[in-house]
Structure 1
Amino acid sequence: MEYLGGCFCGAVRYKARQIFDAGYCHCSICRRISGAAAVCWFSVREEDFELTLGDPSALRSSEHFTRYFCRACGTHVHGMDDLPVPPSVGSRLVSAMLGTLDDPSAVMPALHQWWSSRVPWYEEALALPRFDTGLIPHPAKRPRRTDRW
C-alpha cells in the first residue's frame, strides 16, 4: 500500500510504503517544535520513503535527529535518526508526521513514547466536552471545572 502526504501548502510531497510503526511522542522537543502537547508520527524504512516534490529545510533538533520542514509554509513533514542502523530493523527509519498524510485515518498510532515527559493533563483530554465544528459555546455557557485556570 502507498501512503501519500505533504505539507500544508503543497510545496513538499512524499510517498511512503510499508508502515513500520506509529505513535505519539510526548518529548519536550516535539512539543516545542509542534506547539502541541504531543505529536503523532509514523515511521517507514528509509528505502520505503520518497520525496516526490520539493526541497525541505533541515533542522538538527538533537545530537541524533534531523527534522525537515517546508520552506514555504513551515510544516514539519518528517525527520530522520542519525544513529547507526538498528540491526533489528535493518535500515534507518524516517518518521513522518501523521497529520501530513492525505488520509491520516489510514494509520493508527500504536504507542506513546516519552510518556514520562507528557504534560500532566494529557490523560484528561478524552473527558473534555466535544464539538463537531469550530463553533463552540462561550466558556461561560459550558460546564465549568473548578480545577482549571
Structure 2
Amino acid sequence: MTAMADDATRLEGGCLCGRLRYRLERVKSAYWCHCTLCRRASGSAALPWVSVAREDFAFTAGTPAIFESSPGVARSFCGTCGSPIVFDMARESDVDITIGTLDAPDRVTPTHHIWAASALHMADDLGSGVPRHEGERPDEG
C-alpha cells in the first residue's frame, strides 16, 4: 500500500510565510497522529504526517526553529509564522513532515492512524457526516 497518489517521488513544501522551504523524496508512509503532543503542537484535532528516510528530506530555504517536545524528539517549525514542519525522533531513521505544508498535499493520502487511543471524539470520522461549506460559512440567504 502506497501513500503516494501517483508515481512521482519528489515533493516540495514550505511554511505559511514562505521563509522555510523543503523537499522530500520517496514517501515511505503517511498517517494521522492523534497524540496529545501533536494536537497541541498543531492546534488541530489530529495531524497528518508523511514519513521519509532522513536522507530523503532537506530544507532548501531558511533555517527552522527547533523545540524538543520530549527527550530525543525535535520538532522543527518556522520561527516567524509558527508552521510546524518536522517531527524528528533521534532514535528513528525516518523523519515525519506535516502533510498540510506540502505544496501538493493531495498527492499523499494517509493510510492509517496512530495513537488512536488518544483521539478526540470529534476526530473519529475526521468530519464525515458534518455539513461542508465551500467557503468560510454557509450562505446566509
**TM-score higher than 0.5 here?**
yes
- Aligned-partner Cα distance in 1 for 2:60–2:88: 17
Q: 1:121 to 1:135 in 2, by over 3 A?
A: closer
Number of residues of Structure 1 aligned to a counterpart in Structure 2: 132
- Aligned-partner Cα distance in 1 for 2:123–2:46: 9
The 4+ residue runs of structure 1 with deviation greater than 3 A are: none
Partner residue of 1:56? 64
Query: C-alpha deviations, 1:49-91, integer Å up to 9, x for none?
Result: 01100100110111231100111111101121112x4xxxxxx
Partner residue of 1:131? 133
Partner residue of 2:83? 75
Secondary structure in 2 matching 1:61: strand
Residue type of the partner of 2:81? C
Secondary structure in 2 matching 1:102: coil
Query: C-alpha deviations, 1:77-123, integer Å up to 9, x for none?
Result: 1121112x4xxxxxx11100000000000111011000000002322
- The unaligned stretches of length 5 or more in structure 2 are 1-8
Partner residue of 1:145? none
- Aligned-partner Cα distance in 1 for 2:75–2:122: 27
- Aligned-partner Cα distance in 1 for 2:15–2:102: 9
Residue type of the partner of 1:12? L
Pairing 1:1-149 to 2, within 5 Å after superposition: 1-83=9-91, 85=92, 92-124=93-125, 125-137=127-139
**% identical aligned pairs:** 36
Secondary structure in 1 matching 2:111: coil
Q: Do the aligned residues in 1 keep the contact of 2:65 with 2:77 (CA within 8 Å)? A: yes
Residue type of the partner of 2:17? C
Secondary structure in 2 matching 1:77: strand
Partner residue of 1:144? none
- Aligned-partner Cα distance in 2 for 1:135–1:65: 38
- Aligned-partner Cα distance in 1 for 2:136–2:14: 24
- Aligned-partner Cα distance in 2 for 1:57–1:28: 21
- Aligned-partner Cα distance in 2 for 1:131–1:26: 25
How far did residue 137 of structure 1 move?
4.9
CA root-mean-square deviation: 1.5
How far did residue 27 of structure 1 move?
0.2
TM-score, normalised to structure 2's length? Answer: 0.88
Greater gyration radius:
1
Q: Do the aligned residues in 1 keep the contact of 2:45 with 2:122 (CA within 8 Å)? A: no
